[in-house]
Structure 1
Amino acid sequence: MSFLSLVPALVTIAVALVWRRVALALFCGVVAGALVLAGFQPLPALAGLGRSLLHAFTDADRLKIVVFILLIGGLLELISASGAYLAFGQAVGRTLRTGRKARLAAWGLSFCMFFDDYANVLISGSAMRSVMDRNKVPASVLAYMVDVVALVASVMLVSTWAAFEGALMVDAGRDLGLHGSLSDFFLRALPYHYYTFLALFLSLMVAWTGRWFGAGLDDHAYRLAEEAEVAGEGAGARHVVAPVAVLVGSAILGLFVFGVRALQAQGEPVTLIRILGAAPSVEILIGATVLAIGVAAVTLVRDGVLPHRHAPAHFGRGLGSMVSIGLIVLLATALSQMAKDLGTGLYIAHAFERFLSPATLPFIVFFISLLVTVTTGFSWGAMAIVMPVAFQLAGAQSGALIPVVSAAVITGAVSGEHVVPYSEKAVMTAAACGVAPLYHVRTQAFQTLAVITAAGMAFLLVGFHVSLVWTYVLPAAFLAGLHLLFAREAGFRA
C-alpha cells in the first residue's frame, strides 16, 4: 500500500475535469491502475487491463443493473415519444402553478420513492422534468433535489439499503465479539446519519425558497432540459401515472413476496429488514420495469396515442440512449475493483491512524469513507472496505462509539457519490434529468460541500460528547445561515 494506490482515482478525476467525458475518464483510471499493479511494465499491464475489463463486463450483478437501466430508458422513451410527459405536465401544472409548488412536489415524489435509490432518481427525475420546464425550474435544480432526496433509502428500514448496511455492521461487530440483529445495529446507528438528514434539510430549503449555491451555473442545464415535445392526440396524465404506479407497486410487492419466500426456504426468521435483505432486489426491479413497459405500450397503442408500428423503434431508441450510462456503470466497476486490488481504502485508513483519538474518530472515519468512495465511485464498495476497519478502530478507542462510526462510514460513503461524476447514482440522475453527469456534480458542488462541512462539524461535536440535539441544531443553523446569506435565485420564479 502506497500513495500510488491513489493514482487511478486521481487520473479519473483529472481526465473528467479536463475532457468532461466520464467513460473516457474511467477507462483512463483503469489503465492507470493496471500500470501501477504491473509495476509500470507495459505487457503485464495490458494483460491486467484485459482481466480487469473482462471481470467488470461479465459481473452478473452489475450486468443486471445495466439491464435495469436500459429497460428504464426504453420505458421513458415510450412515454416521452407519445407526448404523455407534456400532457402530464399540463395536467399537474394546473395545480402546481408556481416554481415553489413544482419543486416541493418533486421533493415529495422523490421522498415517497424511499424503497430504492436507483429507481428513485430515474422515476422522479424523468416524471418531473416537464413539470419543471413549465415552471422554469432548471434541470440542474431538479437533478440536485432527486439526487439528495434519494439518500432517504439509506435511512429507511423498508428499503434495499437497510439489509446491506445491517449485514456489514453485524459482520464487522462479530469480529469484536459484538452480537445483535441487523435491525439492532441499523437502528442504533440511525440517529447519527448526519450527512443524510442535513442534506435533506438543505434540499428542502432549496425547494421552498428557490435559492441555492448553484445560481449562475444552471442556464445551460435549463436549455438542455427543454424539449420540442408535443402532446400526442389523446395523451393524458394517466399514460405516465399508470406505468409508474405499476412499476412502484409491483416492485414493492415483489420485494416482500420473494423476500419472505427466500427466508422461509433458508429457515431464517422473517423480519422486515431480513425480508428486504433476502429479496433479489435488482431482478425484482427488472421484472417490475418489464410489467410497466407492457402497461405503457398497451395503453398508448390501445388509446391511439402511439401507433403500434412506431412503438418498437421508440423503445429501441430509449435503450440506445442508456447504453453510455451502462458503459459507465461497468467501467466504474472495473475502477472499484482496481482500487480494491491496490488496497486504496486501507492505505487511506492507515494514513489517518496517527490523528485518531476518541474525540476525532467519528470525523476521521467519515472523511476516510468519503475519500474511498471518491477513489472507487461506488458507495457500497466503500462501506464494505471501511466498515471493518472503522469497527476495529472504534473497538480500540471506545466501544461506545460503534453506532456513531457505523453512521460515519455510511454517510461518508454516500456523500462521496455527490462529489464525483462517475458514481452510478450521479450518472443515472443526470440521465433522468437531462444534464451531463459532470455538469450535474459541478452545479451541486457548493451545496454538497456545505453539507459535508456541517456533517463533519456534527461528528466532531458528538466525538466531544455534545448532546445529540445540539449536534443537529448547530450544523443545521450553520446551513441555514449559509443559505440565507449566500444562496441566490437561479433564474426561476419562486
Structure 2
Amino acid sequence: MNMNNNMKIGIVTAVSVIALFVLSLLITQAPAGDDNALRFGVLTLLPPLVAIALAFITKETILSLFIGVFVGEFMLCVNDLNIISSAVNAFLAIGNQVIACMADPWNAGIILQCLLIGGVIQLITKMGGAKALADALAKRANTPRKAQLITWFLGLCVFFDDYANSLIVGPIMRPVMDKLKVSREKLAFVVDATAAPVAGIAIISTWIGLEISLIAAGFKSIGMNVSGFGIFLQTIPYRFYNIFILIFIVISAITLYEFGPMKKAEQKARARKDSEPIQALEAPGFDEVQPVEGIKLTVWNAIIPIGTLIIGALIAFYWSGYTTILGGQDQALITLMKTAPLSFNGVFEALSASDASVALFQAALLASIVAIVMAVLERIMTIEQAISEWIGGMKTIVITGVILLLAWSLGGVIGDIGTADYLVGVLKGTIPAWILPSLIFVLGALISFATGTAYGTMSILMPLTIPLAWAVSPDMGFVVTATSGVLTGAIFGDHCSPISDTTILSSMGTSCNHIDHVQTQIYYAIFVAIIAIIFGYIPAGFGIAWYICIPVAVVAMYIGLRVIGEKVDFDDDVEEETA
C-alpha cells in the first residue's frame, strides 16, 4: 500500500514538474507586454479551469482552489525557464494575495458576518429555538412537496441579501428536510437558487446599488443621461434566468420530477433509514449540536434572534446609506435625505448607497447580543456558557472563511492575468443583432463561472455591452434586453460556479458537501439557462415581448422536465407520521 502511495506521489510530482516547465516555456515564448490578456492568450483560462476541474475530480475544495491560485501566480512570476525560482515567488505571492483579500474591508466584513451568524445559529440551536421552529414548520411542511415550497417561500422573504438568505434559510429548513428524507443536495439547490436570483431582481437589496450605477454609467458613455433605476425596472421582465429558475423550483417541487445527479441524490435520501447518518461533510456543521436538556422548546428563541438579524440588517442598510449620502457631494441627494428621508426615493437611495458588508456585520453582532441575553435571562445558560457556545458556532464557519479567502484570491489572480478581458476580446466580434442578447448572457455566464463573482462580471461587461448594443441596434428596448443579459448571465454563472461565495455559503448553511451541491445543481441551472436562451433571449432579440416569451418558456420547461426527468416519490406514511 505504501509502495502504491509513494508511486502515486512520484507520478503526480513528475507530471506537475513537466506541466510547470511546459507552461514556463509557453509563457517565455509569448510576446512581452503590459496587457496580460494578450500576453497569455488562451492560457488566461488555465487557473480557473484547473481549480474547477480539480474540485470535481478530487472533491477537495480547498486544495483545488489553492492549486488554481498557485497556477495563476506562477504564470505571473515566470521570467525564464527556472521553474524553481518561479514556484518560490508564486508561493510568496499567494501569501500577499490572501492577505490583500483579508485586508479588503468588504471581504473582512463578509467573513466576520459569517462567523457571527454561525454563532447566532448555534445559540438558537442550543436554546431549542431551531428545533421548535423546525417542528412548527414540519406541521405544515409534512411532505417533501410542501417542505420544498416553504423553503422556496422563505428564500423569497429574505430578498434583501443573498448571503443572509443562504445562512438563514438553510439552517432553519435542514432538520425539516432531513426528517422528510429530502436530500441535502436538493435543499442546497433551493436555497442557492433563491439567493442571488432573488437579490438580483429585488428593488430593495444589497445588489441594486451596483446594478443601477453600472447601468447609468453605461448609458452615459453613449451620451444618454438616464435613470439607472428606471432602466433596472425595465430589465426585470427580461431577467429570464432569474425568473425561470424560481418557477422551476416550484414545478420540480410539485411534480417531484428530478433528473441527473439530483435524481440519484433524492432516490438515495428517500431510501435512507432513520438510523443512517445523512452524509459525510467536509467539516463539522451544526448537525451534532443539540438543545440543552430539560428546557422548554419555544419558537421565539429562534424568531427573535433571526428577526433581529433581518430587521437590524434593513435598518443598518438604511443608516449606512443615509450617512454616506450626507457625507458626500451630491447636493440633490443630501437635500432629499434632509427633507424626506423616509420617502420611497429616500429609502431607495439610502439602501443603494449602503455598505452591505458592514451593515450585515452590525446586524449579526446585534443578533448575537440579543441571543446571548435571551439565553441568560431564560436561565438556559450562564453568560460564560452562552459566549462559549457562540464562539463554538463561529468555529464551524472557519472552514468557510478559508474557502472564501482562496476563492477571492483566485478571483484576484484571474483579474491580474486578464481572463475576463481575453474572453470579451474573443467573443465580441461582428455578430447579428438578434443573437447579441443571448451571446452577452453566455459571455456573462462564462466569465462569472470562471471568476466566481457576479459583481465583477457585471462591472466588466456592462461598460462594453451598452455601447455595443446601441451600435448594433439603436433601439431602447433592444439595449434593455442586452443589459438584462449582462445582469442575468452573471447570476447564472455565479450560481453554477464552485468557487462562488454564494455557492460556498449555500453548501455551508445546509450542511451539504460542497462539490456534491455543485455537481447536482449545475444540471438544473444549465437546463434552465438553455430554456432562457431558446425561449427568452433569442425571441427577445427579434423583438418579441416578454409576456409572450415567459408563458411559452414555462410550458417548455414543464414539458422538458417531464421528458428527461423521473418522479422520485415518497412513502405516503411520511405525511401521517409528520401530521
Q: In which range does the TM-score fall when normalised by the shorter chain? A: over 0.9
Distance in 2 between residues matched to 1:334 and 1:236, nearest whole Å: 42
Question: CA offset at residue 339 of structure 1?
Answer: 1.6
Deviations 1:252-280 (A, max 9, x none): 12222332333234334242432212122
* 1:491–1:426 CA distance, 2 compared to 1 (3 A): farther
Q: Assess if the C-alpha contact under 8 Å between 1:115 and 1:159 holds in 2.
A: yes
* 5+ residue gaps, structure 1: none
Distance (whole Å) between structure 2 residues aligned to residue 308 and residue 283 of structure 1? 26
- Structure 2 match to 1:433: 510
Question: Which of 368, 371, 378 is matched with 2:446 structurally?
Answer: 371
Counterpart-to-counterpart distance in 1, 2:571 and 2:150: 15
Asked if 2 retains the 8 angstrom alpha-carbon contact of 1:87 and 1:231, the reply is no
Residue 32 (1) aligns with residue 71 (2): yes
Match of 1:286 in 2: 361
Distance 2:543 2:228 in 1: 26
Q: Which residue of 2 aligns with 1:412?
A: 489
Unaligned runs of 5+ in 2: 1-36, 81-85, 280-284, 337-344, 573-579
Q: Which stretch of structure 1 is more off in the superposition, 266-275 or 369-378?
A: 266-275
> Are 1:362 and 1:463, in contact at CA under 8 Å, matched by a contact in 2?
yes
Q: 2:134 pairs with 77, 83, 89, which one?
A: 89
Aligned to 1:158: 204
Matching residue of 1:448? 525
- Contact persistence 2:440–2:486 (CA under 8 A): yes
Query: Who is 1:464 aligned against?
Result: 542
Corresponding residue SS for 2:442: helix
1:186 maps to which residue? Answer: 232
405, 409, 423: which one aligns with 1:348? 423
TM-score for the superposition, normalised by structure 2: 0.81
Question: Which moved further from structure 2: 266-275 or 179-188?
Answer: 266-275
Matching residue of 2:28? none
Deviation sequence 1:242-261 (CA, Å, 0-9, x none): 10011111111222233233
Judged with a 3 Å threshold, the aligned counterparts in structure 2 of structure 1 residues 226 and 378 are, in CA distance, closer, same or farther, namely closer
> What residue identity is the alignment partner of 2:362?
G
Question: What is the aligned counterpart of 1:104 among 149, 152, 156?
Answer: 149
Alignment root-mean-square deviation, CA = 2.2
User: Structure 2 residue aligned with 1:357, among 408, 413, 432?
Assistant: 432
Specify the SS of the correspondent of 1:115: coil
- Find the aligned partners of 1:450 and 1:459 in 2 and give their Cα distance: 15
2:104 aligns with one of 59, 64, 77 = 59
Contact kept? 1:374, 1:416, Cα under 8 Å: yes
**Distance between the aligned counterparts of 1:203 and 1:343, measured in 2?**
36
Equivalent residues in 2 for 1:9-48, closer than 5 Å = 9-39=48-78, 41=80, 42=86, 44-48=89-93
How big is the shift at 1:106?
A: 1.2
Q: Does 1:241 align with 2:303?
A: yes
Pairwise CA distance, 1:187 = 1.3
Shift of 1:283: 1.2
Shift of 1:474: 2.7
Q: CA deviation at 1:226?
A: 9.9
Give 2:216's aligned residue. 170
Task: Give the distance between the partners of 1:59 and 1:409, measured in 2 at CA.
Answer: 26
Letter paired with 2:306: V
Tell me which amino acid in the other structure corresponds to 1:389: L
Deviates more, 1:39-48 or 1:209-218: 39-48
- Give the distance between the partners of 1:280 and 1:155, measured in 2 at CA: 18
Q: Is the 8 A contact 1:234 1:303 kept in 2?
A: no
Q: Distance in 1 between matches of 2:506 and 2:427?
A: 33
Q: In the alignment, residue 223 of structure 1 is paired with which amino acid?
A: I
1:394 counterpart letter in structure 2: A
**C-alpha contact 2:372 2:387 (8 A) present in aligned 1:** no
Contact 1:356 1:364 survives alignment (8 Å): no
Distance 2:385 2:130 in 1: 17
Q: Which residue of 1 aligns with 2:250?
A: 204
Q: Which residue of 2 aligns with 1:388?
A: 463
Could you say which residue in structure 1 is the equivalent of 2:34? none
Q: Look up the match of 2:24.
A: none
Q: Which stretch of structure 1 is more off in the superposition, 461-470 or 46-55?
A: 46-55
State the SS of the aligned residue for 1:359: helix
SS at match of 1:158: coil
* C-alpha spacing 1:50/1:207, structure 2 compared with 1 (3 Å): same
2:118 alignment counterpart: 73
The residue type paired with residue 222 of structure 2 is L
Residue in structure 1 matched with residue 380 of structure 2 by the alignment: 305
1:360 is paired with a residue whose SS is helix
Number of aligned residue pairs: give it: 494
Q: Distance in 1 between matches of 2:111 and 2:263?
A: 33
> Is the CA contact (8 Å cut-off) linking 1:183 and 1:273 kept in structure 2?
no
Question: SS in structure 1 opposite 2:214?
Answer: helix
CA distance in 1 between partners of 2:559 and 2:235 (Å) = 28
Q: Are the aligned partners of 1:235 and 1:305 in contact in 2 as well (CA < 8 Å)?
A: no
Give the Cα–Cα distance (whole angstroms) in 1 for the partners of residues 413 and 370 of structure 2. Answer: 41
- Does the C-alpha gap of structure 1 residues 230 and 60 become closer, same or farther in structure 2, counting only changes over 3 Å? closer
8 Å Cα contact 1:137/1:492 also seen in 2 = no
Of residues 259, 262, 267, the one that matches 2:324 is 262
Q: Is residue 2:500 matched to residue 1:423?
A: yes
TM-aligned CA deviation for residue 363 of structure 1: 0.7
Equivalent pairs: percent with the same residue?
A: 28
**Residues 125, 290 of structure 2: 8 Å contact kept:** no
1:338 aligned partner: 413
- Deviation by residue 1:162-213 (Cα, 9 ceiling, x = unmatched): 1110111111221111211221221122221010001111012123333332
SS at match of 1:97: coil
Q: Which moved more, 1:482-491 or 1:97-106?
A: 482-491
- Compute the displacement of 1:37 (Å): 2.0
C-alpha separation in 1, matches of 2:45 and 2:483: 24
Distance 1:111 1:98 in 2: 20
CA contact (8 A) 2:183 2:265 kept: no
Secondary structure of the structure 2 residue equivalent to 1:350: helix
Residues 1:477 and 1:274: Cα distance change in structure 2 (over 3 Å): same
Name which one, 1 or 2, has greater alpha-carbon Rg: 2
CA contact (8 A) 1:98 1:493 kept: no
Q: Is the 8 A contact 2:128 2:296 kept in 1?
A: no
More off after superposition, 160-169 vs 175-184: 175-184
> What does residue 264 of structure 2 align with?
216
CA gap 1:322/1:178 in 2 versus in 1, 3 angstroms: same
Range with bigger deviation, 111-120 or 123-132: 123-132
CA–CA distance in structure 2, aligned partners of residues 355 and 437 of structure 1:
39
Letter of the aligned partner of 2:232 in structure 1?
Answer: F
Question: Tell me, what secondary structure is at the counterpart of 2:296?
Answer: coil
Q: Distance in 1 between matches of 2:137 and 2:69?
A: 45
